[in-house]
Structure 1
C-alpha cells in the first residue's frame, strides 16, 4: 500500500506513462552529509540508508519527471571543519539541488552559513540543537528540520519527571557544544516547572567510565537522573548507574535509543527512558513497510538509529513533493516557497504531515508528536504500552505561533 501511494504520487505529478525513468535522463542530485565513521556513525549510517531506501522507491516508480534521484554522499566524521568543507563542495562545486545532512549540532552550526549564503536548501534530519533552526528567522531561512529540537525534548522529559512526582533531578551532561546547549534547555525546562537542578556534573565526550561521577550524584540524594549526551556516552552512563547500584530512573534524549548506547552499556540501558519521534510499531503499515525495506538494504540488528533513518526517509519524500509543487523550479528560493506551502499532506513514517513547514516555522516536529521510549528485550519500544495503539491516531502538528502564545501564558 505504501509503495502504491508513492507510485500514484509520482505518476500523477509527472504524467509519465508507467512512471518510467527516461533513458539517459539527467539525475536530480541530492547532497548527503553524515558522520559515516567515528562515534556518531550509528546515526550517520542509519540516516544514509534511510535516504537510500526513499530514493530506491522513488526511482522504481519514475523518479522526478522521468529523472532519477541520485545521492552525492559525504562523510563529515562528526568533525566541524570536515562538515564545512563538504557543505561548500556540495553547494558550490557539485551544485546539488538540495542537501540532507548533519547528525551533530556543532557540525551543522559551522556549515549553516554556506547554505544560507547560497540560498541552497538544507534538510536537517538528525541534529537536534535548538539553535540549528533558530540562527536565521524562518522567513529568510533555507534551513529545514525533521528531528525534534532539544527545546522540545528537554521539556518533554521534565514534564514526565513532574508527572511521576519527582523533584530532585540530577544532570550528567557532556562538555561538548551539544551538551552546553542541552544544559541551558534543561535548566530552562526545569525552571518552568519551578525546579532547579539538584546537582550538575559535566564530563568529556569519549570517556570510558563515569562511575566516580555517578557515585557523586548518588550521594546527593537525587531521585531522577537525566544524562545529556550522544549515543556511546549514554551507554557509559547506563553502565555506571548499574555499577553503583543507583536505582533511580534514567532519562535521556534520543541518543539514548541508538544501538551504540545499548552496545556500550552491555545491555544496561534496558529500562532507561528516552524521547522518541518514532518506534517500531506493527499497527502502522507505513512503519512496518519502511522497516522491512531498511532491513533488506542495511541488514542491521538492531538498526543503528531508527529515528535517524525514518526522519531522513521522510526528508527525501518531503523534498520530492516540494520539487513537484515548485513546478520545475528547483532553485533554492523555488523549493523554499514550495516547502512552506505544500499542496497536500504527506503520509510519512514518523507522522502524517498536513503541513510540515510554513513561512513561520521550519521545524517539522512539534511537542505533541513525541513519545516516551525505552529499551525492552534488546529493542526500542514504547514505555507506555497503550501508546503503541494510540500512535495509530494522527497527531497533527501544533501551530507554532499558537504554541508559543500558550507557553507565554503559562509563564
Structure 2
C-alpha cells in the first residue's frame, strides 16, 4: 500500500538525485601570481601564457580525474603592497596550489604569507639562492642564479673576456645580487676580474647612460646586464652609443623569446644570452609544444613560457596521483620525477630542482644557439 503523497516524495527525491548526478564536480582551483602590469611585464605574461596553454590542454583532455581546472590569476605588479594583496586574495580562495611568483623579489614578499597560511606554491622561474635548501612551502623548477652565473662566467672566459662589468636591477635584489656574486666568484677563480658593478632601480626615468658610464670608468672588455628585457635593451642602446665595439651579454632574465631583439633593435646584435631550453631540439614533445604555443598565441614562445608549461604539467601529474587526503607538498615530493618538454624535473627534499643552461646569440634579429 502506498501512502498518500509517497509517490510525489519519491518523485521529488528522484529528481534531486538526477540533478545531483548532472551537476559537474567542483573544479580544481590553481592560482597564478605574476607581474602583469609592471615595466617587465613581458616576463609575467610569458609565464601566464605557458600556464594557460597547459591548463587548456589538460581541460580538453578531461581535466584531472574528471574535474576541470579553474585558473585564478592575480597580478603582483612587481610591487610589494600589490603582491601582498594579490597573495592574500589567492590564499583566501584556498587553491590546491599557486604557481608563481615569477621574480625572486616578489617571492621574498609573499613567502612569509604563504608559509603562515600553509599554502603550497611552485615557481617556474624564481632562481635566487636565497630560496635554495629551505624546507618551506616553496617548490622551484628553475636552476639557481649561482648555477646560471657560473656557466656564464665559463663561456665569457673561454671567449677571451678578462675584465667584465655588470649592471644589475637592484629592485630585484635577491636575483641580481646573487647572480652577480655567483658570476664574480667563478670568473675570478678562472683568472678574470669583475672590473665593476652598477646597481640601478628600474623606472621610466632611469638614466641608463649614467649606469654604462660608471662601468666604462673601470675599463671592462665586456659588459653583462642582469635585468628585464626592456631594461637590458635600454642598457644595450647606451652601451652601443658609448662603447660601440664592447661585447655584451645578458642573464636569463631577459630571455623573453624574440622580445629582446624587438625592443633593442641593432643595439642587441651579437649579444650573448643565457636561457633555459634547447632551441634546436628536434624532439616530438618540444616541436608539439612550440607549434601549440604559436597556434594559441600567434607568436614564438620564450624560456619562461616553456618553464611555466613544464611547471603546470608537474602540478597536474601530482594532482592526478595524490590520494584523497594527501597534501600537495607530500604529493609533489612523492610522485616525481616528472618529465618536462625537454628535461626531467626532480625535486630534492626541500622542493628544489635544477635545470640545464643554454646560450644563444642574436644575429640578424634572430636567436642562434651556441653549439
TM-score by length of 1: 0.78
Deviations 1:271-327 (A, max 9, x none): 211211114335122122112211222223x54xx1111111111111111123322
**Relative to structure 1, is the Cα distance of residues 72 and 224 closer, same or farther in structure 2, using a 3 angstrom cutoff?**
same
1:231 and 2:224 correspond = no
The DSSP-based 3-state class of the residue aligned with 1:372 is: strand
The aligned counterpart of 1:217 is 215
| Corresponding residue to 2:181 among 177, 180, 184 | 184
1:347 and 2:339 correspond = yes
Q: Distance in 2 between matches of 1:377 and 1:257?
A: 17
The aligned counterpart of 1:77 is 77
Deviations 1:356-404 (A, max 9, x none): 20214x23224xx1111222333333123xxxxxxxxxxxxxxxxxxxx
Which has the higher Rg, Structure 1 or Structure 2?
A: 2
1:173 and 2:168 correspond = yes
Q: Distance in 2 between matches of 1:219 and 1:87?
A: 43
Q: Distance in 2 between matches of 1:380 and 1:327?
A: 44
**Relative to structure 1, is the Cα distance of residues 82 and 339 closer, same or farther in structure 2, using a 3 angstrom cutoff?**
same
Question: 1:133–1:144: 8 Å Cα contact kept in structure 2?
Answer: no
The aligned counterpart of 1:397 is none
- Superposition RMSD on alpha carbons, in Å? 2.3
The aligned counterpart of 2:29 is 29
Question: 1:234–1:255: 8 Å Cα contact kept in structure 2?
Answer: no
Shift, 1:248, TM fit? 2.8
Question: 1:46–1:309: 8 Å Cα contact kept in structure 2?
Answer: yes
The DSSP-based 3-state class of the residue aligned with 1:182 is: helix
The DSSP-based 3-state class of the residue aligned with 1:128 is: coil
The aligned counterpart of 2:245 is 247
**Relative to structure 1, is the Cα distance of residues 59 and 248 closer, same or farther in structure 2, using a 3 angstrom cutoff?**
same
Question: 1:122–1:143: 8 Å Cα contact kept in structure 2?
Answer: yes
Q: Distance in 2 between matches of 1:280 and 1:201?
A: 31
Question: 1:49–1:297: 8 Å Cα contact kept in structure 2?
Answer: no
1:103 and 2:128 correspond = no
Shift, 1:191, TM fit? 4.0
Question: 2:162–2:191: 8 Å Cα contact kept in structure 1?
Answer: no
Question: 1:174–1:229: 8 Å Cα contact kept in structure 2?
Answer: yes
Q: Distance in 1 between matches of 2:278 and 2:268?
A: 16
| Alignment length (residue pairs) | 346
The aligned counterpart of 1:19 is none
Question: 1:235–1:260: 8 Å Cα contact kept in structure 2?
Answer: no
**Relative to structure 1, is the Cα distance of residues 292 and 64 closer, same or farther in structure 2, using a 3 angstrom cutoff?**
same
Structure 2, unmatched stretches of 5+, are 1-21
Q: Distance in 2 between matches of 1:379 and 1:34?
A: 27
1:202 and 2:199 correspond = yes
Shift, 1:267, TM fit? 3.9
1:299-314 mapped onto 2 (5 Å cutoff):
299-300=298-299, 302-303=300-301, 306-314=302-310
Question: 1:341–1:357: 8 Å Cα contact kept in structure 2?
Answer: no
Question: 2:157–2:187: 8 Å Cα contact kept in structure 1?
Answer: no
The aligned counterpart of 1:407 is none
The DSSP-based 3-state class of the residue aligned with 1:320 is: helix
**Relative to structure 1, is the Cα distance of residues 166 and 327 closer, same or farther in structure 2, using a 3 angstrom cutoff?**
same
**Relative to structure 1, is the Cα distance of residues 256 and 108 closer, same or farther in structure 2, using a 3 angstrom cutoff?**
same
Q: Distance in 2 between matches of 1:109 and 1:213?
A: 26
1:7-406 mapped onto 2 (5 Å cutoff):
24-91=24-91, 93-134=92-133, 137=134, 140-176=135-171, 177=173, 178-206=175-203, 207=205, 210-218=208-216, 220-258=218-256, 259-281=258-280, 283-300=282-299, 302-303=300-301, 306-329=302-325, 334-342=327-335, 345-353=337-345, 356-360=346-350, 362-366=351-355, 369-384=356-371
Q: Distance in 1 between matches of 2:49 and 2:214?
A: 41
> Which range moves more in the overlay, 159-168 or 191-200?
191-200
Question: 1:257–1:380: 8 Å Cα contact kept in structure 2?
Answer: no
Q: Distance in 2 between matches of 1:246 and 1:295?
A: 35
Question: 2:265–2:365: 8 Å Cα contact kept in structure 1?
Answer: no
Question: 1:280–1:288: 8 Å Cα contact kept in structure 2?
Answer: no
Shift, 1:268, TM fit? 2.0
